[in-house]
Chains A and B, each alone.
Chain A
Amino acid sequence: MSSLTESRSVTGRQGGRRMPRLFGEVGPALPAFLLIVFFFVAPVVALLLRSVLEPVPGLQNYETLLGSATYIGVFANTFIVSTVVTAAALAIGFPVAWALVVMPMTWSRIVFAILILSMWTNLLARTYAWMVLLQRTGLINKMLMAVGLTDEPLTLVNNLTGVTIGMTYIMLPFVILPLYGVISNIDKAVLRAAALCGANRWQALTRVLLPLAAPGMAAGGLMVFVMSLGYFVTPALLGGTSNMMLAELIAQLVQSLTDWGLGSAAAFVLLLSTLVLYGLMLKFFGTSRLGGQ
């Protein structure tokens, strides 16, 4: 089969039987396709079905989820943390991405190495570090007290502050790397032209550079927001039991309470929000930015 395909592509002849050719070309994707359909699509669809079938058919799981103050609180926590993390990551990430574009090579290489290292270091290792750094007797509190910013240790962990700090740390590379790509594609001549036309640095920044980088900021920001919505490990370890986020709620409903109906409904809410936001992203920015590692 594959020899037919190959010899034809070498000699450039066209036509012949369509089915064998098609099989020769699609066939190699079959194992991956079966794996994804059987162990990804099917289980996810089955889970979603449980949300409307258990314990009895109907939408009562969604009613419970959207009608109780506890669950609304979880949605609110998730939304607020994701928004703050996205804003912080963009505010910190933009100057860094910009600096990476203009910096001398030697320096930018070092910063890139640190970014990649931090991104690929085990998530639990990084979260553990923040658990220790942020505790009441931790290094951050000691430093804050030493410089006189606070008189007594602040509660920085087991609450949403800790989650926000830890998640901003984790999300930074995901903003900086795509933004770097966008800014390095901006034509330097445009900014020189702004200077020639009499713009000062501040005007050049706010009226030329930022607007030109805006699509990258929007795409990177949306990606971080979506990732934050479904984050599990960091909120579970740095957050407290009283202010949960959505992913933890799903895990708890399913694992500890074995309430599959409600857990599946919560999972579906998360899945749907993610898909809608990715859909928006695809619509506005095309496929090229998606899946960029």
Chain B
Amino acid sequence: MLLDFDRLGWWRWALGGFTAAVAAFLLLPIVFIAALSFGSSQWLIFPPPSWTTRWYSELFADQRWLDAALNSLKIGLVVTVLSVVIGLAASFALVRGRFRGRETLKALFLTPMILPVVVLAVALYAFFLRLGINGTMTGFVIAHLLVALPFSILALTTALEGFDKSIEDAAILCGASPFEAKMRVTLPGISAGLFSAAIFSFLTSWDEVVLAIFMASPTLQTLPVRIWSTLRQDLTPVVASVSTLLVLVTIVLMLLVALIRKGLSKP
């Protein structure tokens, strides 16, 4: 009764209306920011008196924003490659291995995802100060890799569990070396998982704020750090234009994930 849409009676309108309101609530800030970024008001009056692209020009004219974006991109790409490679190797061990403590090992690998990131940030900050790599590219990559790796391992263990190992064995029986079989049979077979792992690793690194605030130095900042320090001073509309561009990046990457899952899940 309550789980049959046709038999809900007027409750269905109440439930539907409520859900629509919540969906609007979830969408509101995202749409609002996009509208705001084209508004002419310096003080973020809404609805704005007129429309402008001034904040975008200011954004692109400011070398500091461009540098920050470039740093984020560089760190994100390095983290993505490392996260997928290390995650893939670990996932093979976690899925194919028959050793004691496998579950514990997987839990250990996923812990950085569930622990409060501020604890990890403070701990790494202290550690990196000792090692002298605070505020360097290496520091950023290690810190971001720690939180990206769990996403990669989750995506890749799921993909490997769903892959029939006998296909790989068949390739070996037909004369392929085990390495060749993995490269030419197994990896193409789990390519959807590899793409998800890569995209989620990239997004995790690209959006990371808390770790980045602690890793950053005056000379090396990522985009979120730059937004953070700007927001601590004032609510300039330039942040609205950066945010809108960030939302666009997210939408493109999410569409990519959806398309890849759709396209590659078909045999």
A: residues with CB less than 8 A from B are 2-3, 5-7, 9-10, 22, 25-33, 35-36, 39-40, 42-44, 46-47, 50, 92, 95-96, 98-104, 107, 110-111, 114-118, 120-133, 135, 137-139, 142, 169, 172-173, 183, 186, 188, 191-192, 194-195, 201, 204-205, 208-209, 226, 229-233, 237, 247, 250-251, 254-255, 260, 263-264, 267, 270-271, 274, 278, 287, 290-291, 293
Contact = CB atoms under 8 A, between A and B. Distances in A.
B90 A28 contact: yes
Interface in B108-162: 108-127, 142, 145-146, 149-151, 153-154
Contacts of A191: 1-4
Nearest to B16: A99
Contact of A40 (B107, B111, B126): B111
A102 B153 CA distance: 33
A114 B112 CA distance: 27
10 contacts: A29-B90, A39-B127, A95-B18, A120-B203, A129-B29, A129-B32, A132-B240, A195-B7, A237-B232, A267-B118
B169 A9 contact: yes
Given A27-B93, A192-B1, A232 B36 contact: no
From A92, A129, A142, A237, residue with most partner B Cβ within 10 Å: A129
Given A100-B19, A169-B25, A201-B11, A118 B116 contact: no
Given A28-B92, A36-B112, A120-B254, A169 B173 contact: no
Interface stretch (B55-63, B187-195, B243-251, B259-267): B243-251
B250 A291 contact: no
Contacts of A39: 124, 127, 142, 146
Contacts of B177: 3
Contacts of A132: 32, 36, 44, 46, 235, 240
Contacts of A251: 118, 121-122, 213-214
B49 to A, nearest CB: 13
Nearest to A278: B114
A237 B224 CA distance: 13
Contact of A32 (B26, B87, B239): B87
B152 to A, nearest CB: 9
A205 to B, nearest CB: 6
B97 interface: yes
A22 B99 contact: yes
Given A99-B15, A290-B114, A104 B5 contact: yes
Given A100-B19, A129-B30, A291 B89 contact: no
| Interface majority SS (helix, strand, loop, mixed), chain B | helix
A103 B118 contact: no
Contact of A103 (B19, B105, B121, B172): B19
B22 A96 contact: yes
Contact of A110 (B23, B151, B253): B23
Contacts of A125: 29-30, 33, 227, 242-244, 246-247
Contacts of B124: 39, 43
Contact of B145 (A35, A107, A128, A208): A35
Contacts of B77: none
Contact of B210 (A46, A104, A233, A264): A233
Contacts of B246: 121-122, 125
Contacts of B44: 132, 135, 138
Nearest to A25: B97
A131 B26 contact: no
Contact of B119 (A33, A44, A226): A44
Contacts of B110: 290-291
A43 to B, nearest CB: 4
B255 to A, nearest CB: 10
Contacts of A142: 46
Nearest to A268: B119
Contacts of A250: 118-119, 122
Interface in B1-45: 1-5, 7-9, 11-12, 15-16, 18-19, 22-23, 25-30, 32-33, 36, 43-45
Contacts of B178: 2-3, 5-7
Interface string B216-232: 00000000100110011
A172 B22 contact: yes
Nearest to A102: B5
A36 B109 contact: yes
A190 to B, nearest CB: 9
From A47, A137, A186, residue with most partner B Cβ within 10 Å: A47
B119 A96 contact: no
A117 B96 contact: no
A5 B165 CA distance: 14
Contact of A137 (B18, B45, B109, B114): B45
Contacts of A103: 5, 16, 19
Given A32-B87, A251-B214, 18 more contacts: A9-B169, A28-B93, A31-B89, A32-B89, A35-B142, A43-B126, A95-B18, A98-B2, A102-B2, A111-B19, A114-B27, A117-B27, A118-B27, A123-B209, A124-B224, A131-B235, A172-B26, A195-B7
